[in-house]
């Protein structure tokens, strides 16, 4: 979430500028939460990210959290960054707002509810499970493909990549006997995850597909699971969590 917002701030300041990140413990009262019904009167962590960049018009800020909406040139990004940020915030019962004006910069403000749970330390490194199978990663975000590769290759997995559904289908047709598992993003341009899964299943009904998304499991995802997809994991995820799921799937 923070990485997406910071990268956007950097892109909005091509000639340089200031990036200001603030955190604060706040208690939102009933008067404030009436403005935003999704929030409850309780304790929150307030996070604000401000840049002194080019700013945005109201027409842009009104649509900025919509999937595939982007102000970047064609071929530069997919517009899923802020939609993913929005999904993460909502999945944690939080709220995000944006204030911007052309030539005067932008401020994103996030409210995340404070947890009263005690933090339990876990040795994640000890819980990581290794393997030697071949995994096809299908995701239109280059950063996600790179991150997954850096996580899984040191564990012994052989990694193949596809940046969209069409490329995934082509690679699977050519190497279906070598591919043991497919990590498939649900929300992609050109060909969505559901359609991609259908075409992969037509090639090989036994294909093992783990679907992933920055959003909660929706109706399309549930249909994919009903049709034979082997599991779902929500971004962002920890390496030990992912390695356990992959190991469990590959043993089936």
Same-domain check for residues 92 and 186: no
Tell me which of 90, 113, 136 is where a domain ends. 113
From residue 39, alpha-carbon distances to 67, 87, 97, 110, 125 in Å are 23, 15, 12, 11, 36
Is residue 135 located within the same domain as residue 235? yes
Question: What pLDDT does residue 134 have?
Answer: 96
pTM over 0.85: no
- Within-domain flag for 119: no
Out of 51, 85, 113, a domain closes at: 113
Q: What is the pLDDT of residue 174?
A: 95
- Both 101 and 147 in one domain: the answer is no
Residues spanned by the domain of 102: 2-113
128 and 96 fall within a common domain: no
> Roughly how many angstroms between the first and final C-alpha of the chain, as a whole number?
33
Task: Indicate whether 167 belongs to any domain.
Answer: yes
Residue 118 lies in a domain: no
Q: Are residues 81 and 16 in the same domain?
A: yes
> Of 113, 141, 171, which residue constitutes the final position of a domain?
113
Same domain? For 12 and 87 the reply is: yes
How long, in residues, is the chain?
A: 252
Instruction: Note whether 106 and 129 are same-domain residues.
Output: no
Per-residue pLDDT of the chain (252 residues; tens, 9 = 90+): 898 899 889 999 999 999 999 999 999 888 888 888 788 889 999 999 999 999 998 888 888 887 766 655 544 444 457 888 888 898 888 999 999 999 999 999 999 999 888 877 765 455 788 999 999 999 988 888 988 999 999 999 999 999 999 999 999 999 999 999 999 998 888 898 999 999 999 999 999 999 998 777 778 888 889 888 999 998 878 888 899 999 999 987
- Residue 195 lies inside a defined structural domain of this protein: yes
Considering the domain architecture, whether residues 202 and 232 belong to the same structural domain is answered as yes
Q: Where residue 59 sits, what CATH number does that domain have?
A: 3.30.565.10
In a domain, 241, yes or no: yes
63 and 131 together in one domain: no
| Residues 64 and 175 placed together within one structural domain of the fold | no
| Structural domain count, the chain | 2
Interior/surface letters 107-133, b for 16+ CB within 10 angstroms, e for the rest: bbebbbbeeeeeeeeeeeeeebbebeb
The CATH number of the domain holding residue 185 is: 3.40.50.2300
Is 200 within the bounds of a domain? yes
Same domain, 186 and 92: no
């Amino acid at each position: 979430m923070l990485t997406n917002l910071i990268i956007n701030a950097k892109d909005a300041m091509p000639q340089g500028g200031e990036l200001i990140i603030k955190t604060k413990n706040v208690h939102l009262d009933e008067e404030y939460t009436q403005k935003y019904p999704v929030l409850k009167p309780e304790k929150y962590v307030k996070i604000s990210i401000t840049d002194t960049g080019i700013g945005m018009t109201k027409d842009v800020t009104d649509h900025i959290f919509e999937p595939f909406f982007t102000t970047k040139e064609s071929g530069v990004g997919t517009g899923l960054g802020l939609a993913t940020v929005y999904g993460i915030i909502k999945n944690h019962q939080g709220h995000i707002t944006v204030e911007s004006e052309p030539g005067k910069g932008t401020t994103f403000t996030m409210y995340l509810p404070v947890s009263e749970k005690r933090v339990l330390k876990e040795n994640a490194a000890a819980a990581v499970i290794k393997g030697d199978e071949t995994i096809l990663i299908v995701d239109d975000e280059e950063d996600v493909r790179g991150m997954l590769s850096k996580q899984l290759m040191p564990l012994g997995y052989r990694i193949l990549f596809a940046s969209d559904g069409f490329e995934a289908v082509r690679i699977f047709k050519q190497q279906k006997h070598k591919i043991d598992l497919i990590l498939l993003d649900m929300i992609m341009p050109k060909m969505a995850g559901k359609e991609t899964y259908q075409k992969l299943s037509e090639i090989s009904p036994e294909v093992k597909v783990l679907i992933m998304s920055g959003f909660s499991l929706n109706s399309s995802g549930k249909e994919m699971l009903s049709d034979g997809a082997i599991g779902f994991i929500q971004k962002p995820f920890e390496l030990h969590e992912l390695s356990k799921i992959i190991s469990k799937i590959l043993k089936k």
